[in-house]
Chains A and B, each alone.
Chain A
Amino acid sequence: MNPEASVVDNVIDTVSAVFLVVGALMSLAAAVGLLRFPDLLSRMHAATKPQVLGLFLLLAAIGLQLRSWWVWPVLLVAWIFQLLTVPISAHMVGRAGYRTKHLHRELLSSDELEAVVQKAAQSARDESSRDEASDGGRRD
């Protein structure tokens, strides 16, 4: 093996080691955020770190360690799959958390959903009162 190749090898090894350690630290950051943050929405903010950036760093480290080009598309597919599924589940959890009032309103800087929810509740109330009126008319 010529010396140049071993230098390149060392550089790739170092870069992938840094990626592995930083990717693991993302998981630790998520755990610390889960323990320290006050309510569900801010905990969700912390929980996304290992799911997207952490997974990207670890998959990049795998690609660097395997030293071949054909693995990169496979790893990209795995990462894109995670990118597609994580926002949907986060949206569902956040929506359920808003509806069941698991949030501290004083921590929100703006609440764009509140007007929509009020309007939907108002129209549902109108609907039910109109139904009652028409029912009463039939009974009389």
Chain B
Amino acid sequence: MMQTVLAVTAVILSLAAAGAIIRISRGPSLLDRVLASDVLLAILGAALCIDMAVNRHLNNLMLLVALSVVGFIGSVTVARFVADRREQANES
């Protein structure tokens, strides 16, 4: 049963990652891209969790915590230094 769960979640997470990458490449503003890369990071963390649950180990747990630290520092830094360079508002 765990092998079918692994296959199903792999398909779901691949679709989700594709959607996040499309939003990163298309996103009208910098903040949209930051948000989408945060979601991509969450999807990576979900993949690490599923690997741990299916194979019954805890090797990736520190990696998961480090991943959330990286996402936090990255999005806070970019949001702090973002500036408005558009001609007119509301085109997002």
Binds B, one of A60-68, A112-120, A121-129, A132-140: A60-68
Q: Contact partner of B49 among A58, A81, A88, CB < 8 A?
A: A58
User: CA separation between A26 and B71, bound complex, in Å?
Assistant: 18
User: Interface of chain B, helix or strand or loop or mixed?
Assistant: helix
CB distance from B69 to the nearest CB of A (A): 7
Q: Is A35 an interface residue (CB 8 A)?
A: yes
Binding site for B on A (CB under 8 A): 13-14, 16-17, 20-21, 23-28, 30-32, 34-35, 38-40, 43-44, 47, 50-51, 54-55, 58-59, 61-62, 64-66, 71, 74-75, 78, 81-82, 85-86, 88-89, 92-93, 95-97, 99-105
Contacting pair B1 A47 (CB below 8 A): no
Q: How many A-B residue pairs have CB under 8 A?
A: 171
User: CA separation between A55 and B13, bound complex, in Å?
Assistant: 13
Contacting pair A23 B46 (CB below 8 A): yes
Say whether, besides A35-B19, A58-B49, A66-B56, A21 and B90 are in contact (CB < 8 Å).
no
Residues in B with CB closer than 8 Å to A27 are: 12-13, 16, 39, 42-43, 46
Binding site for A on B (CB under 8 A): 1-2, 5, 8-9, 12-13, 15-20, 22-23, 29, 31-32, 34-36, 38-39, 42-43, 45-46, 49-50, 52-54, 56, 58, 61, 64-65, 68-69, 71-72, 75-76, 79-80, 82-84, 89-90, 92
Residues in A with CB closer than 8 Å to B58 are: 62, 66, 71, 74
